[in-house]
Amino acid sequence: MSIGTANRPLRTPRIFYGWYIVAASVTMNFYLSLVFFQGFQAFFLPISEEFHWDRATTSGAFSLRQLESGFLAPVLGFTVDRWGPRTVIMCSVLVTGAGMILMGFVTNLWMFYGAFMVISLGATGASHGISWPVAIINWFQRLRGRALGLACMGPVVSGPFVVTMAMLENAVGWRDAVRLLGLGVWLIGIPLALVVRSEPKRYGYLPDGDPPDEQKPDRAVAGRAIASEVAGGLSARQAIRTRGFWLLLLVLGLQFIGLSGLSVHLIPLLEDVGYSSTQAASILGLVFLLSGIGRFGSGIVSDWIDRRVVLAGLLTSQVLATLSLTQIGPTDLWHAGLFALFYGVGFGGTIPLRSLLIGDLFGPRAFGAIQGLLQGGAVAAGVFGPVFFGRVFDVTHSYNLALYISSAISAAAIPATFLLRLPHRSRRP
């Protein structure tokens, strides 16, 4: 489809170009989640066993990933605001592929950590954490919640396919597997990065694909636009001086501690209680599949009710699911299914909701920078999780104590959500 030139209105297309950007986000994050964010757990035990590392040592790479992402996210946010999401995504794809190919040649712990950091560096920029939301925020206004919810569905789609990572490892070994997957990052990611465009007005479009005669000031703010957005929003410097910034950072930081721990140790935990590697990978895949209910649903529901209530409900679901793992057994498939539902909805729903809350509190002026600062701080808090879970297991030979403590920490975030002061949003007619 031809994209118009700046300041030259186009005939309304059958499909608004913003939806192509949403589709590209889904596809990119499907692959990244499959081969790294979710699927790399399938390589955790094979790598640990080959080098005879304990679980805390192997988990250190995942904690360093959290630390790196924490430091990188603010820089990435400012870079996206300055250079645009397309450039950042393209460069990140190249780095991610190179890192995965390098991983296939590691021979010691420091090479493993180094390759893992290279992958993390690229994946942070190419994922839907910062770059893709900035692109979508620019292209959607009235339909923003729906668009962000859909754009975050990539890991959901990849969930049922996580088992293929275990199958691939069994077939060719973890080294050849990660090399092949690295080549796939380039083959899939480069064309998708080229789909991204900056704000629609440069190409003759209006947000949401509205025709010019329907894009009136009163309609632009109807239902979803808020006071800060009408005023243009806050700069990053202004945002960090607000109470809302630090409260939201606290909530996200407390959540990320438990989330980061289970993101690394869920498959080993399930294998320890009697599930096979294929069953454990399938349960993880089910978690991400069911997270689609939260990802898409939270964007829609939060357009109608107080977003603080939605966030508190999602955190409660995550806490209850985490506690349920202390009682799970190898024959409790119904238990595993309930865990996957409540945990998937809980953590999945917070992903688009974070971007919506940032838009509500601070507006679009410096969205990328503010998103990066908040994500960086929250992810940095999650550095503690993987090593803590691994250390607890190495000492007690069980993950239960880590599950209890991380649940209590996440629960502490629930009352803090109601201290956020969100601008009034008129309801859609």
pLDDT per residue over 182-191, tens digit each? 999 999 999 9
Exposed / middle / buried, residue 14 (Cβ in 10 Å: 0-12, 13-18, 19+): exposed
Residue 143 located in a structural domain: yes
Residue 2 located in a structural domain: no
Could you tell me if residue 208 is left (phi over 0), alpha (psi between -120 and 50 degrees) or otherwise beta? Answer: left
Mean pLDDT over 222-229 rounds to 43
Residue 330 located in a structural domain: yes
Most confident region among 3-7, 148-152, 398-402 by mean pLDDT: 398-402
Give per-residue burial for 128-142: e unless 16+ CB within 10 Å, then b.
Answer: bbbbbbbbbbbbbbb
- The packing angle between helices 367-381 and 131-139, to 10°, is 150
User: At 108, which CATH number?
Assistant: 1.20.1250.20
Residue 4 located in a structural domain: no
| Res 224: pLDDT | 42
Q: Give the integer Cα–Cα distance in Å for 281 and 267.
A: 6
Residues 128, 152 contacting (CB under 8 angstroms): yes
| Res 414: pLDDT | 93
Residue 425 located in a structural domain: no
Residue 153 located in a structural domain: yes
Note the Cα 377 to chain centre separation in Å. 15
Q: What percent of the chain has pLDDT over 90?
A: 27
Is residue 410 over pLDDT 70?
A: yes
Note the Cα 392 to chain centre separation in Å. 26
Q: What is the span of the domain harbouring residue 363?
A: 17-204+218-417
Residue 270 located in a structural domain: yes
Is residue 426 over pLDDT 90?
A: no
pLDDT per residue over 287-346, tens digit each? 878 888 888 888 778 777 888 899 999 999 999 999 999 888 777 778 888 999 999 999
Tally of structural domains, the chain: 1
Residue 240 located in a structural domain: yes
